[in-house]
Amino acid sequence: MIVGLIIACEVAFWVLLAAGLAFRYAFRMSRTGLALLLCEPLLEIVLFVVTAIDLRNGAEPDWRHGLAAVYIGFTVGLGHATIKWADVRVAHRFAGGPPPVRPPKYGTARAVHEWKVAGRWILAAAVALALLQGAVWYVGDAGDVSALRAWQHRMLWAIGINVVIAGCYTLFPKQQPKEKAVENPVDTEAGAGTSSRR
């Protein structure tokens, strides 16, 4: 049941996102669209409550309960960024909004961007860790919590990997390639029309 609910929550997330953006931009009903987008956190609340009830009713904690905690954590950490990513692109495509800003490629700006991305993943993993620990305490010594501990180890790995990636961009920043030598202009005035198309 837990896995089915996780799948249902994921499907509902994208359905609500699509519906919210459609009402906001296609139908020009921004309040309705915003209301639909604000319903997204309710999915995680439902999943959390159902998982807690399942454990309270005596279910043995296993990988499914851990997956539910991880799903909630990653939705908290990455959900807002996902909605913002989609909103900018739909606004640009259908409502004349500005084009999406591409992430920087080089130097300190790229390192800062990577730390922001890492921060979202670390937040997601940290929330999952907290929920998993809460489940461990909730079950107590009466049940086997090895599956929950295994998920905690995975979340620590996720944090470590993101720190390493962002740290590499900080310690070894990607350098912008040197510009190629500018070719000598030939007949600049005569080729003004050609130059304007470059």
Asked, for residue 70, whether it belongs to a domain, the answer is yes
Asked, for residue 188, whether it belongs to a domain, the answer is no
Instruction: Find the domain containing 23 and state its range.
Output: 2-175
> Which of 41, 44, 42 lies closest to 70 in space, CA to CA?
44
Asked, for residue 185, whether it belongs to a domain, the answer is no
State how far the Cα of 78 lies from the Cα of 10, in Å rounded to an integer.
13
Asked, for residue 10, whether it belongs to a domain, the answer is yes
- 71-87: burial string, b at 16+ Cβ within 10 Å, e else: bbbbbbbbbeeebeebb
The pTM of this model reads 0.85
Q: How far is CA 162 from CA 44, 125, 156, 158, in A?
A: 24, 10, 10, 6
Asked, for residue 181, whether it belongs to a domain, the answer is no
Residue 84 has pLDDT above 50, yes or no: yes
Look at residue 58 in the predicted model and tell me its pLDDT: 85
Tell me the per-residue pLDDT of 153-193, one tens digit each, with 9 for 90 and over: 999 999 999 999 999 999 999 888 887 444 444 444 444 44
Asked, for residue 184, whether it belongs to a domain, the answer is no
Asked, for residue 186, whether it belongs to a domain, the answer is no
Asked, for residue 50, whether it belongs to a domain, the answer is yes
> Which of 147, 169, 161, 130 lies closest to 67 in space, CA to CA?
147
Number of domains in the chain: 1
